[in-house]
Structures are given as structure tokens and as C-alpha cells.
Chains A and B, each alone.
Chain A
């Protein structure tokens, strides 16, 4: 079971790029890395998913080194509305078993 470790909290000013790193030393061969964003009183919302190297979509980029023991979510030019908790989730989506949520990183964007 791949356990994840993230910083508990981060602060950033509006307009800056934010990088949140997740450690997953026990990641298995078939595990994918998925990042979610969660606002208070809402369910986690999918941001991005990757297996290795770099993945980019319209809202974020995900960097995964060759050993896959960590991953970094990059949010370009954050705004106040990006204030939320960000979770790194590691698991095998093709079996769907025992996905593990870490403690999450509480990001606060400052005006």
C-alpha cells in the first residue's frame, strides 16, 4: 500500500507559480499518481493524473522523476480561488483497490 507524504500547508501570493511535492517511496509498478483539489464541504475534484515524466493540462502540470518516488504538482499563476487542500493519491487505477489519501496540503493564496 503506497503511503504518501505532503507538506501540511503552504502560502503563496497571487500570480505566483506554486509547486507542491508528494513523496511516495513505496509506489508500485502499476500505480498511477493522481492529484485532487478539495474545497470545504465539497468532494475532491480531479486535477491531473500521470505515470511518469511530465503531464500537462489546462490547469496544472505534473512532474514525475524517473524513480517515481515523488511527484510535483505545479499550479501556474495561482489566484485566490486556488486556496484549497490538495491531495496526492497513489494507486492502481486498473484494479481500483485501496487508493490511499495522504493528509493533503492546505494551500493559502494571499492577495
Chain B
């Protein structure tokens, strides 16, 4: 079974440009999460989708970040316009969710996208 995949693995852009990160969750996983780690800091939660709906986006840093999950499958995270402080590694994770009928749920992470804003 394929794991969580993210594209691109690395992106280098200039300040003011737009970048779109993509995450493909494990097939059948209803829950999708975005996290990021800024240099030297902890991994922080950004937002959580249940299927195509945003369950919690309280971790999104500001309105320059827009996350979507079309049809409850893959998700994109767009940063527009990018600023220097947006540099870091963006992780995506997915989990089965309540529909799986499990008592607890486990998040599986992708390899991350390293974003560098110059």
C-alpha cells in the first residue's frame, strides 16, 4: 500500500511569489492534516480536513495560506504571496478517521516538502 506522498520534495521561490504544495493521502483515509516546521522550531499543526471539509484551521498562520481538498482526495496548500518566514518543511499526514470504525486513529506522515523563500 502506498504511503502519504507530497510534491514537490523541495521548492525554492522568491519572496512575493506563489507556491502550491500537494499532498496525496493514503487511499481511503478521510482525515488529512497539514503541519510545518520552521527552522529551529517545533512541528506545528496547521489544519485538519475530514474528507473535503475543513475541521480545524486554527493553526494557519495568516490569510496568505489557503488549503483545499478537492473531492476529499488530495490536498493543496497554497502560499500567496510567500514571505521569508514561510521557509520550512511542510508535512502532510492522513488517517482513516471515524469512518474506519476504530477506537483510536493513527496519523501517517509524508516525507515533507522543504520550502525555501529567498
Residues of A within 8 A of B (CB): 32, 34, 36, 41-46, 49, 51, 87, 93-104
| Subset of 21 A-B contacts with CB under 8 Å | A43-B109, A44-B93, A44-B109, A46-B108, A49-B106, A93-B104, A93-B106, A93-B107, A94-B98, A94-B104, A95-B55, A96-B33, A96-B48, A96-B50, A96-B95, A96-B97, A98-B59, A99-B33, A101-B35, A101-B42, A101-B43
Would A97 and B95 count as touching, CB distance under 8 A? no
Interface SS of chain A: helix, strand, loop or mixed? loop
Query: CB of B72 within 8 A of chain A?
Result: no
Residues of chain A with a CB closer than 8 A to B85's CB: none
A-chain residues with CB within 8 Å of residue B114 when the two chains form the complex = 41
Residue on A with the closest CB to B35? A101
Q: Bits for B93-118, please: 1 = Cβ < 8 Å to A, else 0.
A: 10101100000111111111010000
Report how far A61 CA is from B100 CA in the complex, Å.
Answer: 25
Residues of B within 8 A of A34 (CB): 106-107
A94 to chain B, nearest CB (A): 6
Point out the residue from B33, B97, B104, B106 that lies within 8 Å of A51, measured CB to CB: B104
User: Which B residues form the contact surface with A (CB < 8 A)?
Assistant: 4, 31, 33, 35, 42-45, 48, 50, 55-56, 58-59, 91, 93, 95, 97-98, 104-112, 114
In the complex, are the beta carbons of A43 and B95 less than 8 A apart? no
B44 touches A43 (CB 8 A): no
Closest to A87 in B: B43
> Do B107 and A46 have beta carbons less than 8 Å apart?
yes
The answer to whether B112 and A97 have CB atoms under 8 Å apart is no
Q: Do B106 and A43 touch (CB < 8 A)?
A: no
**Which residues of chain B come closer than 8 Å to A46, judged between CB atoms?**
106-109
Question: How many Å from the CB of B97 to the closest CB on chain A?
Answer: 7
Q: With A and B bound together, what is the CA distance between A100 and B44 in angstroms?
A: 7
